[in-house]
Amino acid sequence: MADDKVSRREFITKTSMAASGVVAGAAAGTGTAGAQEAEEYVQSDYSVRAKALVSVLTKKNLINPETMDAVVDYYENKVGPHIGARVVARSWTDPDYRERLLADARAVAREDNLTGVQGTDLVAVENTPDVHNLVVCTLCSCYPWPLLGLPPTWYKDVAYRAQSVIDPRGVLKKFGLDLDDDVEVRVWDSTAEVRYLVIPERPAGTDGMSVEQLAGLVTRDSMVGAEKLDSPA
Amino acid sequence: MNSIHDIGGMDGLTLPERDQGRILNEEWERHVVGVALTAWSTLIPGYAGSLRSDIERIPPELYLKMPYYAKWMWAEEVALIRSGLVTRDELDNPDSTMRTSNGSGGMPYSPHDVVAYIKDDDSYELPAEVPPRFAVGDEVAARNDHPVGHSRMPRYVRGRRGIIHNHHGVHLFQDDVDENVGQQHLYTVRFIASELWGSRAHPNDVVYAELSDYHLEAAG
């Protein structure tokens, strides 16, 4: 099977025409999907539906349940913010690495084997005393999976998507971060396939700590720009 | 299309607390993510491209009622049925005898192969065969256009002026447009917040969005 596998880029390129054809055909209709069908869907039991979906696909040999479990295990237990945290900690201790990361994060991700679905076209932005960066995807939920894992619920919430572009300071204040007026706030709306990693400021009182120790201080939400990091207690 | 998914700038919604627990909380969510990533990779031609447009066509009043992964499952069902791989009747009667699939899906990956697939280089950049229309520093305006199909240009930037901040080369263009628009260079465009939000904007705020040649006109 591995031999038959087309590369991700080939797959995307080959299938994009098919996708746009399908979508164009569907969009030529009423626009939105059938309201009655959608209403019934919302009223249904999602657990029952998901079981039915997996059962049908398995019976028809369209998915391998062990493969499905491997995917879920990967995103629940293998990939997550600890990966991004190590990148951040290394950027704090290695000025050359930090410079390369800020100049071309995608190249660094490739060098360090941090590529993957939803996150290869990576850009890193740094928070400083004068600049605060906040990442959002107003149209859906784009997020750097290979570095942070699947996004948390708050990041996908319609209120966050709606307000972070028009009132980022208000959102941050509700999240517990009150920024001074003279700080520049940069909001990054991931509308295409570029994915953003925020490099938070290194907390005071961490001189001499190792990369591993520093990585332990870096929170998931700080790498989205939703909070600043505290000095170690 | 101008639907509820394009929600940037809307008032009145209640911001949640930042959840810190597990990212998948229910067993059905695990199933939905598992199906998405196994089906995404091998089963349905164009699935990766159609997931978002199928979600965007959920009626707005129902979109707001659906949990996040319920929207994914909706799109999975829609795409699987459209592809001919499964029927509505089969999904409604999962204990019945399945007829042979008439779809052209690929073989499912083994558990080992799927992890390699997930870690594959996922870049959407393509070799450039045409020059970019814009350079870093150029003044541009986002087109005031309201397509009925899938678009990556959010409403809040349409007709607004910005500056090219970054150029990413040619990327796969995913908007649903009838005409053949050829290769599309992708840029990060920097908008001063007051250009987007008028007097309500903070003077020190800026918003960046990725937009393609197709979305942009020269300005200045």
Nearest neighbour of B91 by CB, restricted to A2, A52, A183: A52
Chain B positions in Cβ-Cβ contact with residue A113 (cut-off 8 Å):
119
Summarised one tens digit per residue, pLDDT across range A86-134 is 999 999 999 999 999 999 999 999 999 999 888 889 999 999 999 999 9
List residues bridging with A198 in a β-sheet.
Answer: A125
By the 10 Å C-beta count (0-12 exposed, 13-18 middle, 19+ buried), A30 is classed as: exposed
Q: For residue A164, what pLDDT is reported?
A: 98
Partner-chain contact B67 A46, CB within 8 Å = yes
User: pLDDT tens digit string along B135-176?
Assistant: 999 999 999 999 999 999 999 999 999 999 999 999 999 999
Beta strand ranges found along chain B (DSSP E): 125-126, 139-142, 161-171, 185-192, 205-212, 216-218
Q: Which pLDDT belongs to residue B41?
A: 61
Q: What is the pTM of this model?
A: 0.93
Q: What is the pLDDT along chain A (233 residues), one digit of tens a residue?
A: 333 334 444 444 434 433 343 443 344 344 677 888 889 999 999 999 999 999 999 888 888 889 899 999 999 999 999 999 999 999 999 999 999 999 999 999 999 999 988 888 999 999 999 999 999 999 999 999 999 999 999 999 999 999 999 999 999 999 999 999 999 999 999 999 999 999 999 999 999 999 999 999 999 999 999 999 999 88
Interchain pair B46, A22: CB under 8 A: yes
C-alpha A38/C-alpha B82 separation (Å) is 16
Is A137 considered catalytic here?
Answer: yes
The residue ranges of chain B whose pLDDT is under 70 are 40-49, 100-108
Rounded distance between C-alpha atoms, residue B130 and residue A31, angstroms: 33
Is A55 in the active site? no
Which of A24, A138, A192 is opposite residue B176, by nearest beta carbon? A24
pLDDT digits (tens, 9 = 90+) for B8-24: 999 999 999 999 989 99
What is the structure's pLDDT at A60? Answer: 87
Disruptive mutation site among B41, B121, B216 for chain A (greatest number of A CBs within 10 Å): B121
* B contacts of A116 (beta carbons < 8 Å): 118-120, 122
Token digits for B118? 């997930």
Q: Which residue of A has its CA nearest to B105?
A: A62
Residues in chain B: 220
Give residue A155's pLDDT.
98
- Angstroms from B12 CA to nearest CA on chain A: 8
Report the gap between the CA of A6 and the closest CA in chain B (Å): 9
What DSSP string runs through B48-86?
A: HHHHHHHHHTS-HHHHTTS-HHHHHHHHHHHHHHHHTSS
Phi-psi category of residue B12: left, alpha or beta, with phi > 0 → left and psi -120 to 50 → alpha: left
Q: What is the pLDDT of residue A26?
A: 42
Reading the block at residue A82, the tokens are 């600890």
Nearest chain A alpha carbon to B90: A56
Distances (CA, A) of B95 to A52, A56, B208: 8, 8, 50
Three-class SS state of A217 = coil
Residues of A in contact with B98 (CB under 8 A): 56, 59-60
